C-alpha cells in the first residue's frame, strides 16, 4: 500500500491514540494531517466497557472533535448482529459492564444481567469485559448457553495496554465461559470483518485506498487482512519489534508512533 494514495484510515484507540487517559504524543498533529490530506477516518475499538458517547467525549478531551457516527465499538456491532439475527427487542442476557449493558439497552433489547437467572428465556448470552466477574455470573451464563442461548462474544482480546503495563482483557471472561460450557462463541469484534465493513460502508470507503492503523497483530492487522485492506502498525501499544519479527502476521507498514506516521503522511503528499 502507498501512503500517497491513502483516502480512508480506520483507527484503533488504546495503544495507538492513547494509553488509558493519556494521549499518545503527536495525536493532535496526526489528526491535523488527516484533515489536511482529506483522509476520512473512523475509530474501531474492541473495548466494550465504554459507550460511543464516552469515546466522543474522550476524543474531545484530547482536542479532537468527532461525530458519534465515526465511532464503531465491538458493542455497537454486536448490537447490530443480534438485531439482524433475532429482531428488535429480543431478550438477551449480558455478562459485562455498563458500556455494553447501556449499548444493548439503548438498541432496544430486553436486557438482563447479574447473578440471578432471567425470568424468561433469552436468545443470546452476550459477553464482554467484566471486572466484577463472579462464580454466580458465570454459572447463570453457563446454564443459559447450555440451555440453547447463542454465546456471543464482543471480542476475545487477552490483554490491553495501560500506562503501568498490560492488563487482562475481555478474553479473561470469554475463556472462562468457553471452559465451563465447551461452546465456541460467535465473535463479533476485530479480527472479524463485521466492524471493518460497517465503518467502510459508513465512510463510502474503497478497500484499495483504505488501511487499518493498530497496535495488535492478532486483531487490528489480521482483521485488516481478512477485510482486504491495507494495514499499518505502531509500536506504542501491544506490538514489540521482537513479536513483529516472530509473527506470521505482518503489516504493510510499521511506524514507531502516530507522530512518525503523521510525518510520513505529510511528506507523502507535501502537506
**Separation CA 144–CA 135 (nearest Å):** 14
10 Å Cβ neighbour count for 59? 21
Give helix 171-181 / helix 135-146 axis angle, nearest 10°. 50
**Separation CA 200–CA 10 (nearest Å):** 8
Residue 12 known to be catalytic:
yes
Q: Which residue has the cell 489528526?
A: 31
List 12, 130, 157, 215, catalytic entry = 12
Residue 61: which residues within 8 A CB-CB, separation 6 or more? none
Strands 186-187 and 165-168 come out as unpaired
**Separation CA 222–CA 258 (nearest Å):** 20
**Separation CA 25–CA 191 (nearest Å):** 26
Q: What ranges in 193-257 are assigned the alpha helix state H? A: 194-203, 222-227, 241-246
List 14, 130, 157, 220, catalytic entry = 14
Tell the burial category of 185 from Cβ atoms under 10 Å away from its Cβ (0-12, 13-18, 19+). buried
**Separation CA 165–CA 159 (nearest Å):** 10
Residue 267 known to be catalytic:
no
Q: Which residues are catalytic?
A: 12, 14
Amino acid at each position: 500500500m502507498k501512503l500517497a494514495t491513502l483516502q480512508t484510515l480506520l483507527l484503533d484507540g488504546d495503544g495507538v491514540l492513547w494509553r488509558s487517559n493519556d494521549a499518545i504524543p503527536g495525536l493532535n498533529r496526526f489528526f491535523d494531517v488527516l484533515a489536511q490530506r482529506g483522509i476520512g477516518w473512523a475509530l474501531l475499538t474492541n473495548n466494550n466497557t465504554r459507550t460511543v458517547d464516552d469515546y466522543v467525549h474522550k476524543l474531545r478531551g484530547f482536542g479532537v472533535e468527532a461525530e458519534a457516527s465515526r465511532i464503531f465499538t465491538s458493542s455497537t456491532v454486536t448490537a447490530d448482529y443480534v438485531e439482524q439475527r433475532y429482531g428488535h427487542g429480543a431478550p438477551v442476557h449480558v455478562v459485562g459492564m455498563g458500556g455494553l449493558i447501556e449499548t444493548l439497552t439503548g438498541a432496544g433489547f430486553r436486557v438482563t444481567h447479574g447473578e440471578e437467572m432471567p425470568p424468561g428465556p433469552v436468545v443470546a448470552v452476550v459477553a464482554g469485559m467484566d471486572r466484577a466477574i463472579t462464580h454466580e455470573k458465570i454459572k447463570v451464563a453457563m446454564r443459559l448457553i447450555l440451555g440453547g442461548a447463542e454465546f456471543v462474544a464482543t471480542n476475545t482480546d487477552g490483554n490491553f495496554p495501560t500506562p503501568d503495563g498490560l492488563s487482562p482483557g475481555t478474553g479473561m471472561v470469554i475463556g472462562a465461559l468457553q471452559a465451563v460450557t465447551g461452546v465456541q462463541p460467535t465473535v463479533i469484534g476485530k479480527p472479524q470483518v463485521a466492524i471493518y465493513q460497517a465503518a467502510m460502508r459508513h465512510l463510502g470507503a474503497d478497500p484499495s485506498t483504505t488501511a487499518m492503523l493498530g497496535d495488535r497483530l492478532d486483531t487490528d492487522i489480521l482483521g485488516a487482512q481478512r477485510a482486504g485492506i491495507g494495514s499499518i502498525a505502531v509500536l506504542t501499544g501491544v506490538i514489540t519489534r521482537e513479536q513483529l519479527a516472530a509473527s506470521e502476521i505482518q503489516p504493510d507498514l510499521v511506524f514507531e508512533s502516530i507522530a512518525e506516521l503523521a510525518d510520513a503522511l505529510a511528506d507523502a503528499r507535501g502537506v
